Chains A and B, each alone.
Chain A
Amino acid sequence: MRTAQIGATTALTLHSLCAAGLAAGHWLAQSFYSSSLITDPTRTLRFLTVCEAPIVIVLFSWLRRDHDRCTFIKSVGRGLMGLPIGALFSAFGAIVLGAPVGLKYWPATIYWSMLMSLFTFVPAACVFGASKLGWQHILSYSNSFYRLSNVVDYMISVPAHGAILGAWLGAWPMPLDWERPWQEWPICVTYGAIAGHLIGMLLSPVLIYLHQRHIRTKVE
């Protein structure tokens, strides 16, 4: 199986493709509309989402779990369906945690939750579809270090958790009275999420490497 052969380097390559997608989105927004996340969060988030979505969906559909029963196209379809569902969950979580709900925040919130969905929900949807066990696997990751059996689990779980933790930490400066533009919702939360996601993507190849060495020593 192809998925079994994935090593730490491949994972790193795939992750860098995702990171490149983010960079491309940011660059496009900046060069064509000269808007950054601070000056025009909605447009920049839209660019980030639009650039990141195809990359994530294609990459993780390629990594899909059940190669025999599920075609590439079907997996892409799962990813496309997962995008709004995951966005709904993200938006719900954000509102529970205290994100502003005023009408003027809606567009930004929608794009932000799409982006969060791309970081967390969509990869898992592409890979596992509706497989309950697979979802439980990536969630229970934090309970014990070596329980994850598959390389792809790391690739989904670590960056996703990184993005959520990053977004959570990114919300902390929001109540401060520094009156900086980046304290607005969802700018600092997006920064936090992207930073956490990137750290997660750096961490996941390392963990995959450690994991594979651990298995190898066990086998020997």
Chain B
Amino acid sequence: MRGKKRLTDRWAPTPKVMGVPWLVVLLGLHCAGIYLFTRGFLLTRTELSASSLPSDLHLSPCSSSSSDDPDPAPHHLHPSRPGWTRPTVDRILILIVDALRFDFVAPSTFFQEKKPWMDRLSLLQHLASTQPNSSRIFKAIADPPTTSLQRLKALTTGGLPTFIDVGNSFGAPAIKEDNWLHQLVKNGRRVVMMGDDTWTQLFPEHFNESYPYPSFNVKDLDTVDNGVVQHLEPWLHREDWDVLIGHFLGVDHAGHIYGVDSLPMIQKLEQINAIIQNVTDVMKSQKHLENTMLIVMGDHAQTLNGDHGGGTSEEVETCLFAWMPRSLPSSISSIFDQSTCSLDLNGGNICTSTMQQLDFAVSISALLGIPFPFGSIGRVNPELYALSPGSWDPQWHLTAFCEDSRSDLETWKHNYAHVLCINSWQVKRYIDSYSATSVMGFPTDDLRHITDLYNKAQSSWSGSKNSPCMPENGTINGFSNFLLSFAALARSAWTEFDLKLMGVGLGIIIISIICHILVFVRVHSQSNVYGNKTEKSSDHLQISVAFFLVAVRAVSFLSNSYILAEGRVANFLLASTAIASTRSSLVYGKFKKHDLVFLILIIFIRFGIEMGMTKQAVTNPFLKYDSGSDFDSKWLPSLFQGHDFATLFSEVSPMIFLFLLAFVSYKIITCIVDASGIKWIVTIGAMLSYALIVTFWLSERSFAPRMVYGIGFGLLVLNFVIRSTGILERGDALQRLRNLALVMVAAWIPTILILLGKQGPFAVLVCVFAGWSIISSKNKGLLDDCKMDPISVMQWSLLAICLFYQTGHWCTFDGLRYGAAFIGFDEFKIVRQAILLFIDTFGISHILPIFSLPFLVVLPASSSSKKRDKTVIFLNLTQVYLLYGLITAITTTLTILCVAIQRRHLMVWGLFAPKYVFDAIGLLLTDVLICISALFYC
């Protein structure tokens, strides 16, 4: 009925397409579904607001002896300070080296091969090998997500921060949970911080003095480090501090910009080595620092590319080095795990241990003698605890008759068992309170098992307390067993998925898909009123082929391997469609050049994707000097390795591609736009932008990118003016649509180009030619060349995915090309940089393909001689947009489903969750862009 009515008003001045309100409804449904699912999926851990109090200790079974036998010999260090355990060190100096890999610190003899970045922190190795009784290198295993903010939160609270916080990383909210900084401040200790300003954002009121430096400017390797150096030494000579935190960012930034295997990285490591050398010299000479523990540690590690965020061993295996100026009893060696020892470069023996980063918070609290953070679930690390001299002193409640017969080691064990008892009691208290307040606690069976372990350990403790000369091994093992089991349980079962919300969200999205299909079918049947009905069968075949491909792609997300290889899978499918279309042109006996061009382009795309994947895995030696020049500087020079020609080529080839692109754009503009005024404006705008891009590459001047953004914005405004004033209304609908679409694309290309860096021209050229091939291979042999071809739309969407991966992006947060956010701007402003990063990430894979979709309808139609009426064109355009949206929606739905199914998968935070976030944002962006395009073009 509606179709009939439409026939009558086909010459109405502004034909309305019924799809637009529906598109908005779909957008709303997607928003609601994704919002609910995200609430259910990423809301994970209930943060408890309670915090530990010094007076809580009398509740624990561990302190009974001390309560009826008040401390006979108050500790000489801090007699007045309340705490749960006795402080064992005076001060702690924590130097955090962001993104410190384990192999930066451990001697190269630990690894199969000596790499240039190894053995640069020679001082730490020297200390570890010459003073084995007062220093130790630990391999500290962090928990994913390995982003700085999450790690700092984990280091201070002793908990397992979850994925949702990654989203807060830009906003850096203050930590609300109990943590050792909070405990320090409450118990009258003085904390000084210098370095990364994330600390002051996390702890706005905790520091007596702080010297924060901006952390977001990745290109800046020195400001933060120099700031720390400037303030560190004066503070070392002062006595009015208890904990000093220095956070160096240079290593992290050098990794992000240049990769691990680079000269700046080595220089940074050597600088850090010199700083630590200086610090240890001061510590040896100053009397007040005699009982100070120096901790040099990483918050997380990094891959060879300098990326971090995931859960691979390269990213989680960071390092912790602890050193005391005072030497300790030699029996300490029996506490240390001697299993991983090796000769260092100078022939000395060097040993390392392994610890969980989770244990750091509680270990620090035990060393400083403050109440353990309420939410900490770690275990006081025996080796770190043994490094403090105080842990070897006889405890206050030790009965006198046993004291003489005890060796150092037994005293230590007794002290440690006492600390572990409090530790276990605190964790148990947390478990109980968590189970009571949280809607979904831990599984009852596991909880019962944990409680059993706790009770067993406690009874062993009470037994040993009654006869204090008994060896403590059983007790220590019992407590350790309990704590380790609980940490394992927490790791496996922590993420508290709200299945109900997830289900509702998924349901809404599935409903939206059904609506989508219904709308699509309706528009499709409406367009069939105009079309040739005899071709219905081939039409159905094409739609089913397209949906078969969508289904293959979507189902592939069930496996983590396919998500990792998504770019290759998309390329495989795109190549399959290209081969099939070549085959069908052969069937009709006419082999066309665009088929061959398309196949060759796919080979280029394929190599680009593979290069992107290798960047993800290992650093390529040719990628050092420019984070933007991913593609060309990567695989082209590797063919001519070791020649000056290679560098020259990688410098020059982007220029050549850019000139080629300029030529092609000129051709396209003159060929497509027919209104001469607009044609000139667009041509001048494009050429000026290209010239500015070249200027930027040659001179690195920041005015050029800004002007490029300005020109792009100007063209957009012009386009809206054209659209709203109706300058083009005189021409027919096809021409109008062509002009609008071209100006739109021309407005976006230079911005995307400059953000993509030197790989940009090649990627955009590939995009243009591949688009051209898809358009010209469309609907081969069919008579009705204006009809929507589902396979072309499918190819368009596969091409968009391929371009995403080809341009060096991938679906993880460390895959974001942060360098792009600073093109044209040096200082950091959150909104501006976020917009640039967003355009860089989604520009070539979402914005460009969606805005250029009209060409898929318009160009074949205008090449035919047949006169088209407006309504048919707009119906086809709506169909194309609906189908494109449907393809994206279906794949995203499957991603969501797979994430829901795989929510207990090992890689859920490393792989599935980032994929989900990227796909969800991609879907919403696609919907928004489709709505804009539908409103704009129709």
Residues on A facing B (Cβ under 8 Å): 92-93, 95-98, 132, 135-136, 139-140, 143, 168, 171, 175-177
Contacts and interface: CB of A to CB of B under 8 A. Distances in A.
B587 A177 contact: no
Given A95-B606, A143-B587, A176-B559, 15 more contacts: A95-B603, A96-B579, A96-B603, A96-B606, A97-B575, A97-B576, A97-B579, A98-B571, A98-B606, A139-B586, A168-B576, A175-B562, A175-B568, A176-B561, A177-B560
Given A98-B572, A139-B587, A177 B561 contact: yes
Interface string B577-597: 011000100110100000000
A187 B586 CA distance: 29
Nearest to B565: A175
Contacts of B589: 132, 136
B293 to A, nearest CB: 42
Nearest to A95: B603
A126 to B, nearest CB: 19
Given A136-B587, A139-B586, A177-B560, A96 B602 contact: yes
16 contacts: A92-B599, A96-B578, A96-B599, A96-B602, A96-B606, A97-B579, A98-B572, A135-B586, A139-B586, A139-B587, A168-B576, A171-B572, A175-B562, A176-B561, A177-B560, A177-B564
B569 interface: yes
Nearest to A99: B606
A140 B589 CA distance: 10
Contacts of A93: 579
Contacts of B571: 97-98
A75 B146 CA distance: 66
Nearest to B607: A101
A97 B572 contact: yes
A192 to B, nearest CB: 14
A139 B584 CA distance: 8
Nearest to A136: B589
Given A175-B562, A175-B568, A177-B561, A96 B587 contact: no
Contacts of A96: 575, 578-579, 599, 602-603, 606
A97 to B, nearest CB: 5
Contact of B583 (A139, A168, A176): A139
Nearest to B559: A176
Given A98-B575, A171-B572, A175-B568, A136 B586 contact: yes
B561 A175 contact: yes
Contacts of A140: 587
A140 B445 CA distance: 63
Interface string B180-208: 00000000000000000000000000000
B593 to A, nearest CB: 15
A108 to B, nearest CB: 18
Contacts of B606: 95-96, 98
Nearest to B538: A143
Interface residues on B, range: 20 to 34
Interface in B542-576: 559-562, 564-565, 568-569, 571-572, 575-576
Q: Is the interface of B mostly helix, strand, loop or mixed?
A: helix
Nearest to A100: B610
Contacts of B578: 96
Q: Is the interface of A mostly helix, strand, loop or mixed?
A: helix
A143 B580 CA distance: 13
A174 to B, nearest CB: 9
A177 B907 CA distance: 13
Contacts of A132: 589
B636 to A, nearest CB: 15
B806 to A, nearest CB: 13
Contacts of B603: 95-96
In the A-B complex, the 9 residue pairs with the closest CB atoms:
A175-B565, A177-B561, A176-B561, A140-B587, A97-B575, A96-B575, A139-B587, A175-B561, A96-B599
Contacts of A168: 576
B742 to A, nearest CB: 30
Contacts of A95: 603, 606
Contacts of A97: 571-572, 575-576, 579
Contacts of B579: 93, 96-97
A132 B589 CA distance: 8
A97 B569 CA distance: 9
A140 B587 CA distance: 6
B641 to A, nearest CB: 14
Nearest to B601: A96
Nearest to A183: B561
A37 to B, nearest CB: 22
Nearest to B552: A172
A168 B552 CA distance: 13
A39 B561 CA distance: 24
Contacts of A98: 568, 571-572, 575, 606
Interface in B873-900: none
B548 to A, nearest CB: 13
Nearest to A138: B587
A143 B571 CA distance: 26
Contacts of A176: 559, 561-562
A158 to B, nearest CB: 15
B176 to A, nearest CB: 39
Nearest to B579: A93
Nearest to B569: A175
Nearest to A97: B575
Nearest to A178: B561
A7 to B, nearest CB: 28
Contacts of B586: 135-136, 139
Nearest to B606: A98
A117 B586 CA distance: 18
B592 to A, nearest CB: 15
Interface string B602-637: 110010000000000000000000000000000000
A218 B822 CA distance: 75
Nearest to B568: A98
Nearest to A93: B579
Nearest to B562: A175
B107 to A, nearest CB: 31
Q: Which of A93, A96, A140 counts the most B-chain CB atoms under 10 A from its CB?
A: A96
A185 to B, nearest CB: 12
Interface in B853-885: none
Contacts of B602: 96
Interface in B639-694: none
B61 to A, nearest CB: 48
B769 to A, nearest CB: 15
Given A96-B575, A96-B579, A175 B564 contact: yes
B420 to A, nearest CB: 39
Contacts of A136: 586-587, 589
A176 B558 CA distance: 11
A177 B583 CA distance: 32
A167 B565 CA distance: 19
A160 B561 CA distance: 30
Q: Which of A95, A132, A168, A175 counts the most B-chain CB atoms under 10 A from its CB?
A: A175
Contacts of B568: 98, 175
A171 B575 CA distance: 13
A135 B603 CA distance: 26
Nearest to B566: A175
Nearest to A101: B607
Contacts of A92: 599
Contacts of A177: 560-561, 564
A184 B469 CA distance: 63
A92 B598 CA distance: 13
A77 B586 CA distance: 24
Contacts of B576: 97, 168
Interface in B204-259: none
A109 B725 CA distance: 60
Nearest to A171: B572
A177 B559 CA distance: 9
Contacts of A171: 572
A165 to B, nearest CB: 11
A168 B589 CA distance: 24
